[in-house]
Structures are given as structure tokens and as C-alpha cells.
Structure 1
Amino acid sequence: MTATEARSAKRKPEQIVDMSWDPITRIVGNLGIYTKIDFANREVVECHSTSSLFRGYSVFMRGKDPRDAGFITSRICGICGDNHTTCSNYAQQMAYGVKPPMLAETIVNLGEAAEYIFDHTIFQDNLVFVDFCEAMVKATNPGVLAKAERTEARNGHIHGYRTIADVMRAFNPFEGEVYKEALKVSRITREMFCLMEGRHVHPSTLYPGGVGTMPEPTTFTDYLSRLVRVLDFVKKAVVMNDDVFDFFYEALPGYEEVGRRRILLGCWGSWQNPDVCDYRYETMNEWGKAMYVTPGIIVDGKLVTNDLVDINLGIRVLLGSSYYEDWTNEQPFVTHDPLGNPVDMRHPWNQTTVPLPQKRDFDGNYSWVMSPRWYDKNTTEHLALDTGGGPLARLWSTALNGLVDTPYVKATGHSVRISLPKSEKLPEMTLEWKIPQWSNTLERDRARPYFVAYAAAMAFYFLERAMGFVRAGETKVFENYEVPEEGIGCGFHEAVRGVLSHHLVIKDSKIANYHPYPPTPWNGSPRDMYGTPGPYEDAVQGQPIFEENGPDDFKGVDIMRTVRSFDPCLPCGVHMYLGQGNTLSKLHSPTYGAAHA
């Protein structure tokens, strides 16, 4: 009998309370979570996820010079702008038929590795782990904190903290040792990033066709010196998180049900292999499989496909409960892909964004986020894939595929082994992320420090390759190209928090259609046209409540842990909608004069 079935057998008369958190804090952007909670049975019985931000980059990209797409789309987000630039350049390179030099591709990989380390560290240690720190656990589960004080930390000989409570104290905001050290690490890793991509978070040296980074030997040694400085922290972070999350399973039987949903994971792959990747659509299956994070769609724990052509053709954008008009009666931009496969009208190449502002109605439309789904032609299901916050899907797909095999990272078919060299205080270590039983809150969070270690390990590999190119005199970093009169392209990448695709249509050498799809529309989507809830909604709805507080002082920590485990980032694709020409004005200031928008 599962924990859910056991709860059902012991149900009490319901005590339903409407509770909402809008906006959710410690995430990026404006996200509202609206729930109905049955306090008698300690369960969330209903959940709706809503965003009040209009996603409109696809509207004003039309008519632009396609070469500007990377610079414009990097402004989609103030967190992962470089991921958008990289993905946009991938799409453009396909449309232009250009392959960057191998050193340029390696420089991009180094920049993206630094971004993963930076972003995951600051989110996990300064935002997510606040929900697991001593101060929060004391306020929501004092009984659990008492157990933590008595529980030895299994990996204390590595990270230096004797008990689980000591680890929790180290993450207390503004005061805890790890909390403060994570902020220092974020500065160092951002410096690593800037050495490769020029500026954080909107890169100044990434272009279709290559990079503007000067490939001097000191560029790479400066990066290496910083990578070595954070290596002790990376190693400790993995085992500290393991200790805390293992403790929660032990201290709260049934906690595996918190944030648990059907295993429906999507990964689009990351870090191109310049030996294989030529950006041609016709060879996308081959170079997709050669990525250093392997793409894949996992359904109920099984790998459905790792073919980027299949992944691309299966994407559907459903309106469902979102504030838009349908576009399926319009003429398609793309009827067939370069291999002759038909392209669906709800595919991003054919999407037209037509905003339809209206009052929020949870029985109708209630969010500006659309509902991207993946159509499984074998089952005819429109799958509400999630990214597991990014790392869970990346590790799971890479592990199952068993294709990545470098001196630093090896996929085994059931795990990912990550080898890190000796650092200042800790010896050489091999960490192993194993495919878990569940796709739930704790496993999404556990995967994050493991992927930081993965990114650090791959950074060593990319450094070796980059310095090898320089020593061999292969220092070319840019390849010329021509913008075609007509063309299409698609870029597939992993933003920090998961799947990222850019779809581009060129006509008359201008952008005719452009659609970026970051991870948060997948994770934060509302109910679709078939009534299927989005992953946030699905993960929260039906989960048990373990917080010891009652309705009057309820903080919703279990709900917040679940939502934050996906690493929400709502600003992606946002601009202001003003209707029919309304004007925003800023009144006269005696100091600064008048300004008008």
C-alpha cells in the first residue's frame, strides 16, 4: 500500500481551506499558486498555477534582422540570458548553414558550464535551501528539528558538520557559513563566465558563426584557477545535500509523496560536441546524440526517444487555460521539415501569438503561460513533460542513454559517474548520481548539486580541449556566413532550469516567425485543452502536508518546497501589453524633469 492509499484509508471529514501564495517569493518573476487544502486529512486537494506576465517576444521579433536575434532574446531573462543567446545562435547557424570553428564551440561550452555552476549554486544554497534551514524547520516542523539535533551527518567527515541540525544552521540566511560561502562562489563563477562570454548575463562575445573571445592561454588558465578555487565547495555541497534529503525521508515517513508526479521528463541536450555537430537539420539525430548531456524523453522511467528530430516534431503548443486566441486557421509558415516530415500547425514554427487579456477564471482561462506539450505518436498522448528543475531530467536522460563517456563524466545506463580532481583540502573524488525511485521534490533538489559537480567536471574536459587547440595553433574562433533569403532553423539547448528551444523562420532575409520556448512554460503551464494540469499544478495537487502548523499560522512550506524544486523563472519572454495604444506617463519631477513612455 502506498502512502497515498494509506492516507485515503484513514480519511477524516474534510476541512477545506482556500489558500494562495501570490507572488511566490525566492523565485524569479511573478508566479501565483492557488490551492484548496484539506487540513483534516493534511492534503492539498486542488492547485492552480498562474502568471500575470505576458510572454511576447515572439510578437516584436518579427521583421527584425535575424542576426540580432541572439542579442534581443538574451534580454528575455536576467538570469539565463546567455542560454537564450546560445540557443538562438544554434538556430541561426542551422538557418545560415554555418559551422563555428571547434575552439569557438569549446569556448561556448566553457561559458555555459560556468553558468550552470553559478546559477545552480546561488539558487540551491541561497534560495531553495532556506526552506530546509534551521530557522525554517524550527518554525514549521520543530519535531523534525529536534530529531536533526540528535542525528549524525553521515558525510560529516567530508563537509565538517557533525549533525543534520548543524548542516541546517549552515544554511540560515545571511548568517550561515554555507549561505555566505555560496555568495562568494557565485562571484567567482560569474568571473569564469565573463572570461568566456564577455558579460553576464547578456553575452557580448557570442555570435552566430563563432565568438569574439580572444583565445589567449591566460584566458583559459584564469578560468582554471577560479574553477579550482570552488572545487572544495562543489564536493561538499553534494554530500551535504545528500545528508539532509536522506534525513527528511527517514524523519518523515511518506515524504517521498511531496511533489511526486508521474515520471514525464524532457531534456533537449547540452554542450555540443564540435567533432560531430555541423548544425544541419538532416544530421540532427547524430549530433544530438553526441552532446555531452544527452537529449531524451522519459516516460514512466523509460527512454522513449533520444532523436532530436522526433523531439522537435513532437512539440505542440496548446492554449488550454491561457489568455490567447487560437491561430490554427491561419496559413502555416512551415508545412514540412527539411527531411520531408509534416509539421503540425501547433508546432512553434507555425505559432502566432495573439494575446487576449481577460479576467482570471479558474474554471476557464487564468494564466499568460501557454501549455507546451509533447505529442507521443505511439500513445497519442499530449504529455505534460517537466524538466525536474533542469538537473533531474538532464541526469536521468544522460544516465539512461549511456552515451557520454569522457575521463571526467561517464553515463552507465543506470547512473552518472562524476570524477573531480584533487582540490585544496579534499582528495580526488568520484560522485555517482543514481536514477531514483521517484520524480519528486527532494529528488529535483538533490539532482542540482550533482549537476553542479557534472558541470565542473566537464569544464576540466573543455579546458583541456581548448588549450590543446591553442597549443596546436588552431585559434580561429569565427566563420563567415550569408543570411539566406529564406530559411528555417531550430536550436536545442538546456537553460539552467531545463529544456530550451528557439524556432526561427526567415523570409526576405528578415525574421518572419520566431518562438523561444524556455523551461518555465513547460513546468508552469496551466491546464491544457484536454484538462491536463501543468507540472507545478500536478506536483502540488494531491500531495500530503507535513507541516506541524494549523490553518491559522500555516506557512505552506511543503508546497513552497515543491514549487521551488522546479526552479521557476517566470520573466522569460515578457514584455508589457498596453492594449490599443494606451500611454504610460511619468509625472514631472522637480529634480529630473519629465519623462514619457
Structure 2
Amino acid sequence: MTATAPKQSTGQKTDLVEMAWDPITRIVGSLGIYTKIDFAGKRIAECHSTSSIFRGYSIFMKGKDPRDAHFITSRICGICGDNHATCSVYNQNMAYGVRPPHLGEWIINLGEAAEYMFDHNLYQDNLVGVDFCEKMIAETNPGVLELANRTEARGAAEHGYRTIGDIMRALNPFTGEFYRETLKVSRYTREMFCLMEGRHVHPSTLYPGGVGTVATIQLFTDYMTRLMWYVEFMKRVVPMHDDLFDFMYDALPGYEEVGRRRVLLGCWGSLNDPEHCDFDYRTMTDWGRKMFVTPGVVVDGKLVTTDLVEINLGIRILLGSSFYRGWEDQPVFVRQDPLGNPVSQDHPWNQHTIPAPQKRDFDDKYSWTMSPRWFDGTDHLPLDTGGGPIARLWATALAGLVDIGYIKATGHSVDINLPRTVNRPERTFTWTPPTDKQGRPLSNAIERDRARTYFQAYAAAAAMHFLEKALAEVRGGHTKTWESFTVPDESVSCGFTEAVRGVLSHHMVVRDGKIANYHPYPPTPWNGSVRDKFGTPGPYEDAVQNTPIFEENPPENFKGIDIMRAVRSFDPCLPCGVHMYLGNGRQLHRETSPTQLNLP
């Protein structure tokens, strides 16, 4: 991380120190966190989140052939490109009225499950895990490390590390045993994805109507071999991370307030059930509820909807403190959805992206990230994804709709059953929506990280089910993986799924067979959004503001580890939120032609 030198600013009641981390490291370097810190009170008084470059896919998608949408939008990001491609394909399936063969959808599910396993593993233990490693703890909280070395790990028999200090040493970058092991796991989980969709991270066999993958028993056997390695791995990882995270609460009383914000979680659902999903908007409420990760909005710990149509209609794109001009004077593309419901002008179907670059001013405009909100009929809620897993697990647990043998949502928890492997017996893990000591719903840095571990196990369990379904199709002679389609002259469509780090939607309007409007909304704009027109801060900002400081270093040697844990718990990934803007550009003149240079 790069932190600016402390700068004193005198407030009405106390002296605040201005400090900035820009760029935040361990992610693509476009995210900046600007804070005012009350060191005397040991808390963060104010936070602004910035994105330094412009997002432009919604502009250059216009006029393109809609069949190219998934190839183009997968390049939004070099990390979750397959999530974008998948969401775009779902979007196109709706636009073209095509329903892929069941086997094609099981293959897509297997690819996406592998992506969850790959990305969450890599991020949890090779990126965010560094915040809890021995070297980091020694630099920021040496007293905690001393305690960790004396604290026996409750799950030592399962994960093999005797003390919490041993776990922290295993997480040391490049030298830690567990750190190196997770790098190997990331290799074979990526191989699992490539078996299903050809190439990672930009799929080469994924299309509207299904996939081009040749489905064979050998293909799925190769996937299963790697999956069983991963299942055995997760039987160690879940208890190890539970030990580490529980220790942080014990070692630092009050740590539950780090990164805490009101429970406002959004999950758009993922992993469609081909036996129910026909990609028709008019039946989206029903097939959305059959997803293997249930869509839902959770407010103050309570599930307020699982209806994808309601979720879709509630999306609002606000500007507030971002570098854009409003589109009130621009054409409206969609006034009613296919069910006849009114559509807001602030909805992605009607959005126009009009850049308005200017000097950054924290009292006015200061970022290229817009402010997506979800309108519940009264308030524009700044939903976050919690990095993805905590929202997915919370919505799925409370909905109680998923029951596939390996996974059971009970209405108050999620039971994840991992089958017997070579060296370890069958194991069931239960995730329950977290609460604080007073019994209040809790979404904070630690619980976002903990949920990521449990969702790794969830993805593995789901993949077991998908494998069984795919093998049954092949053995039954149903090997077709793609269905033909035609592109209509006009259509209105949307796709919903969960990128690794949270909600992902693609909205498209087709006119005269070409894209007239296209807006992808990944988790980054939701989590990294800025203060909207009502003055409501975005989730990063909200989670950091009022976070207490537990770091032992004085201001002149302050690392900001508690701030970094709060931000990185969201699994920030800025490529999806920002790209490059060149204004009107400039014309370049070449004095010498290629012919004169004798070039071919």
C-alpha cells in the first residue's frame, strides 16, 4: 500500500489526521482510500473511496452485433472475465428466446463453480490472508502475535497446526507452508474451469444457446479427480480459518466493529437449474428461485425478497459524487418491462453514460465510480455484496429453497456436506448468519472473510451435484450442448448471476438487430460506490468510517491494517468499475507511409 504523509486538520472537537492509501495494493491499482483519523479516539472519522480511471464499456458496446457481447464484456476484467461472459450469455439467451440443452447448462455451472473455488482460494489465502500472517501481525500488533504463539488451535486435529501462531506463520507470503499450498490449489482449480469452458479467464467454448464443449465421460472424470482433491483440502481449510478468525475476536475485544456496517446485502443468485430455467423474463421469478444460489435482498438481517423481477425493477443508477452528467434529457429506451411493469429512467435499461471529467473535490465530485442503489419503494439502499459469499449464504440460508443432498438451506442456516475422500471422512459444515454479542445481525471484516471460506466449500458441494447431473445426461445419450437461435430485430433483456465478489447484471436493448444500449453492473460499482445524491456513502466508505483502530503503531509509523482489512474483506477488484477515458482524443499524423518504409 502507498500511504500519504499524515496531515493535521483541526475539527470542531478533536484533531484529525488526513491519511490516504492510493493505490490499495493486492488488487489492480485504481482504488484509493482517503481518510481522516482520530488517533486520540482510536477511530476513523471520515472516509472517501476513489476510482481513478473511467469505465466505458457501456459506450462502445453500442452498435455492436449482440452475439459478440460475451466476447467483448469478458474483457472488462482479467480476473472475473468468465463471470461477465456467463452473465452476457444469460442476457443473450433471454434476448434470443433460446433455452440451452440441459447438459450445456450443467457444464456452465461446473465452470462457474470451479471459478468460485479458484478465485476465492487465491484471494483468501494469497491476498487477504496476508493481512493475518505472522509478518503482518508482528509489524502491527506484536502483542497479538505473542498471544497467538501461546494459544492452542481448537481444530488442530483437522488442519494440523498446533497454535494460532503456527497458522499465521503458514500464511507468510512465499515462505509459509499453507500459502504455497494454496498456490498449487489455484492451479488445478483453474484446470477444472478450462476443462469445461476451454480457456480461463476468457472462455472459448461459451456461447448463447449453450457451449461448444465436447462432453465425454473422460472430461468429467478429469474434473472429478481435481474436485476431490479440493474437497479434501476444504476439510482442513474451514476449521483452520474458523480458528484464526475466532482468535482475532478473543485477542482484540471489540474487533467485531472493524469494517462493520448495517446489514444491507444483495445477491442476484447464480448457477441455474436447467430443469426450470427457460430464460424467459415473464417466468424469471419462478426460475430465479430455483437457482442453486438463491437471489435475495437482506435488510437488517431479514430477507425482504427473492424475486428477480422485483430485484431487477428496484435497481437505480445514481450519480451524486461521480464524474458524470445526468441523462434526464436523453431518450428513454424502456418504459415497461415484458410484464408491463413501469421501468425507472434511472434503471440500467435507460442509462446513458456521459463522462464529465473534472478536478477531484471531496465536497463535490471525486470518483469515476457511480452509485448503484436498490429502491425498496421508500429508500435508495446502498446494498453491498460483502465480497460475495456473505450475501449469497445469507440469502440462501433464509430462503430455505436449496436442497440437493450436498447442500441444504434450512431457513436459518446452510448445511454443506462434503463426501468422503481418500484421507478424510465425510464432513458437514454449517454456516449461520452471524450476530454480535447482543444478538444483532453482523456484517464486518471478519465475517465477510469467514463466509468466503464457507462458500468455497459450498461451491465444491454444488459441483458434486452438477457432475452427477452431467454424467447422467451423457450416459443417457443426451450429449447435445448447444441450441441454435436467431437474433431478433428488437428485444429487451437482462442477465443475472453472481461474479466471484458479488452481484452481476447485464442489461441490453436491441434495435434493428444491433445493440442500442448495454450496461454491465458488476459488484465493484456497488461496493465501491461513492456518496449518492442523497449524501449516502458507499459500502467501502461506510465500512471504514467509525472503524476502531487496534493497530499498536503510533501515527508516524501507522500501517492502517484495520482499514485494509475492512476494505479487502469486500474482495475489491477495480477493473470492473473503471477503465480509461481519453476525452475527445487527439488526431495523430504520420508523415511517412508504410509503403515508403517498405513494410508489408
TM-score range, shorter-chain basis? over 0.9
Task: After TM superposition, give the deviation of residue 573 of structure 1 in Å.
Answer: 5.3
Unaligned runs of 5+ in 2: 1-11, 436-441
Partner in structure 2 of residue 339 of structure 1: 339
CA distance in 2, matches of 1:412, 1:104: 29
Report the counterpart of residue 438 of structure 2 in structure 1. none
How many residues were matched structurally? 578
CA–CA separation in structure 1 for the residues paired with 2:455 and 2:587: 46
The structural deviation recorded for 1:575 is: 3.6
Which of the numbers 542, 554, 558 marks the counterpart of 1:554?
558
Q: Name the residue aligned to 1:537.
A: 541
Counterpart in the other structure of 2:293 = 293
What is the deviation of 1:570?
0.6
Aligned to 1:426: 424
Larger mean CA deviation between 12-21 and 285-294 belongs to 12-21
> Contact (CA 8 Å) 1:370, 1:521: kept in 2 or not?
yes
Give the SS at the match of 2:498: strand
2:520 equivalent among 516, 519, 531: 516
Pairwise mapping of residues 95-106 of structure 1 onto structure 2 (< 5 A)?
A: 95-106=95-106
TM-score (norm 2): 0.95
Q: Matches of 2:536 and 2:268 in 1, distance apart?
A: 22
**Which residue number in structure 2 is paired with residue 81 of structure 1?**
81
CA-CA distance at 1:424 after TM superposition:
2.9
Matched, 1:46 2:46: yes
Report the Cα distance in structure 2 between the residues aligned to 1:336 and 1:452, rounded to whole angstroms: 39
Give 1:443 deviation, angstroms.
0.2
Q: Which residue of 2 aligns with 1:321?
A: 321
Aligned to 1:398: 396
Matched residue type, 2:363: D
Alignment of 1:12-411 (within 5 A): 14-377=14-377, 380-411=378-409
Match of 1:6 in 2: none
8 Å contact from structure 1 (residues 57, 574) kept in 2: no
After TM superposition, the score normalised by the length of structure 1 is 0.95
Cα deviation digits, residues 378-436 of structure 1 (max 9, x gap): xx100000001000000000000000001100001111100001123221100111110
Secondary structure class of the residue paired with 1:386: coil
- Return the offset for 1:16: 1.2
For the 8 Å contact 1:76–1:574, the answer to whether it is kept is no
C-alpha distance in 2 between matches for 1:594 and 1:296: 62
* SS of residue matched to 1:23: coil
What is residue 508 of structure 2 aligned with on the other side? 504
Q: Which letter maps to 1:63?
A: G
1:232–1:585 Cα change, 3 Å: farther
Q: Hey, what does 2:455 align to over in structure 1?
A: 451
2:413 is aligned, of 401, 412, 415, to 415
Q: 1:317 to 1:288 in 2, by over 3 A?
A: same
CA distance in 1, matches of 2:328, 2:265: 27
1:516-535 CA deviation, whole Å, 9 max, x = no partner?
Answer: 00001000000000000000
Of residues 493-502 and 417-426 in structure 1, the stretch that sits farther from structure 2 once superposed is 417-426
Q: Residue 527 of structure 1 is aligned with which of 525, 531, 542?
A: 531
Q: Note the C-alpha offset of 1:120.
A: 0.2
Q: How far apart are the structure 2 equivalents of 1:209 and 1:309?
A: 22
Kept in 2, the 8 Å contact 1:13–1:40? The answer is no
1:271/1:594 CA distance change after superposition, 3 Å: farther
Q: CA deviation at 1:330?
A: 1.5
Structure 1 Cα separation of the partners of residues 257 and 578 of structure 2? 33
Would the aligned equivalents of 1:56 and 1:573 in 2 still touch at CA under 8 Å?
A: no
Aligned partner of 1:467 in structure 2 is 471
Is 2:492 the partner of 1:488?
Answer: yes
Instruction: Indicate which of 439, 444, 447 corresponds to 1:440.
Output: 444
Give, in whole Å, the separation in 2 of the partners of 1:261 and 1:195.
40
**d(CA) in 1 for partners of 2:524, 2:421:** 35
Matched residues, percent identical? 69
CA RMSD in angstroms comes to 1.7
- The answer as to whether partners of 2:314 and 2:375 remain within 8 angstroms in 1 is yes
Kindly state the Cα deviation for residue 576 of structure 1 after the two structures are TM-superposed.
2.3
Q: SS of the residue aligned with 2:575?
A: coil
Distance 1:302 1:104 in 2: 35
Q: Give the CA deviation at 1:22.
A: 0.1
Pair 1:584–1:133, CA change in 2 (3 A): farther
Secondary structure of residue in 1 paired with 2:576: coil
Amino acid at match of 1:497: R
Q: Distance in 2 between matches of 1:194 and 1:294?
A: 26
Give the C-alpha shift of residue 220 in structure 1: 0.3
SS at match of 2:428: strand
Secondary structure in structure 2 of the residue aligned to 1:273: coil
Q: Secondary structure of the residue that 2:45 maps to in structure 1?
A: strand
Residues 390 and 451, structure 2, Cα contact 8 Å, conserved in 1? yes
CA distance in 1, matches of 2:419, 2:15: 55
TM-fit CA distance, 1:13: 6.8
SS in 2 for 1:230: helix
Q: Distance in 2 between matches of 1:414 and 1:175?
A: 40
Q: Deviations over 1:84-121 (max 9, x none)?
A: 00000111111110000000000000000000000000
Deviations 1:215-237 (A, max 9, x none): 01111000001111222222211
In structure 1, distance between residues paired with 2:581 and 2:14: 42
Whole-angstrom distance in 2 between the partners of 1:543 and 1:470: 53
1:316-349: CA deviation from partner (whole Å, max 9, x where unpaired) = 0000100001002212000000000000000000
Contact 1:57 1:573 in 2 (8 A): no
Moved more, 574-583 or 327-336: 574-583
